[in-house]
Amino acid sequence: MKDPSKWAIVTGASKGLGYHTARALVDEGFNLVLFSRNKQRLIETITELKKYRYDNLLILGVPGDLRSPEDIDRLFKETYSYMDKIDYLFISYGNPICEPSRIPEVPWSCWLEATSLYLASTHRLLRNLIMYNNGRTRVLVFNSFTITSPGHELLTVADAVRRGLSLLLKRTAYSYPSKLMIIEARFGSMKTPGAEETIRLVSRRQGIDPREMWKHIREKMTSLKRLASYDDVLALIRTIVALPEYTVYTVLNIDGGSENIVC
């Protein structure tokens, strides 16, 4: 049953997993605050989502960059001008600009960017909820299923930093159980714009057809041997909504992982 009083923030909301999450939340009757660094694309996303919204629901946009603590603080300040309780926070990141790159070739700036994008931003988002939110928030964090497979060729810096993200989430959830319920979704592959760009670059570096790379991911790296779809995201959202309040921290492997599970 849809509850029109529920509010959710979605980061990275103008494309990829963030967009699909926002679309699913609209279908579930949530009021939304969308956060994205591309202002024009954010405006277009809000216009697109309003085609699906139910009467009396609100879809607001706040332009900003997850790598900026000032932008994150402004996101919460503007959100709290409309309500005093954020019920859900959905965190989607994207990839560092310099990915994909081989470990020996990674510049210092890329490590700093990745740490800022994944770890520092997540800390800042959760800190705002702990300090200012009126009640408990369900937080879904999209992590990559590739962090469980250290030998793959897709990403390097992102995987190294995202491994630390899991520890940050677990420690924070158990430190502030009255303020946060955290769900880490290790999500399998989906043909989002960011994923397709990454595959295109990796395929070019390896001298193979991108279609062959997608086939490898589908058949060798995903347990169900298929890519994710919008329906899978919608089912995930419904799962998060239905979780019992007794939950503090949990990991959901969404067709995530390979034969080389190491964590």
Give the pLDDT band of residue 191 (cuts 50, 70, 90). Answer: confident
- Position 1 scores a pLDDT of 41
Q: Is the pLDDT of residue 53 over 90?
A: no
Confidence (pLDDT) at 259: 46
Q: Which residue has the higher pLDDT, 75 or 154?
A: 75
Q: What is the pTM of this model?
A: 0.91
**Using 50, 70 and 90 to split pLDDT, how confident is the model at 4?**
low
Look at residue 261 and tell me whether its pLDDT is greater than 50: no
The per-residue pLDDT of the chain, averaged, comes to 88
Whether 110 contacts 28, CB under 8 Å: no
pLDDT at residue 153 tops 60: no
Query: Tens digit of pLDDT for each residue in 78-90?
Result: 999 988 899 999 9
Amino acid making up residue 23: R
CA distance 197 to 203: 10
pLDDT at 125: 98
CATH class of 7-254: alpha beta
Q: How many CB atoms lie within 10 A of CB 89?
A: 26
Determine what percent of the chain is predicted with pLDDT higher than 70: 92
Asked whether the predicted pLDDT for residue 62 surpasses 70, the reply is: yes
Task: Answer yes or no: are the C-beta atoms of 76 and 33 closer than 8 Å.
Answer: no
Any idea which of 18-32, 48-62, 95-109, 235-249 has the lowest mean pLDDT?
A: 95-109
Please state the domain extents for the chain.
7-254
Residue 152 scores a pLDDT above 90: no
Cα(77)–Cα(202) distance, integer angstroms: 39
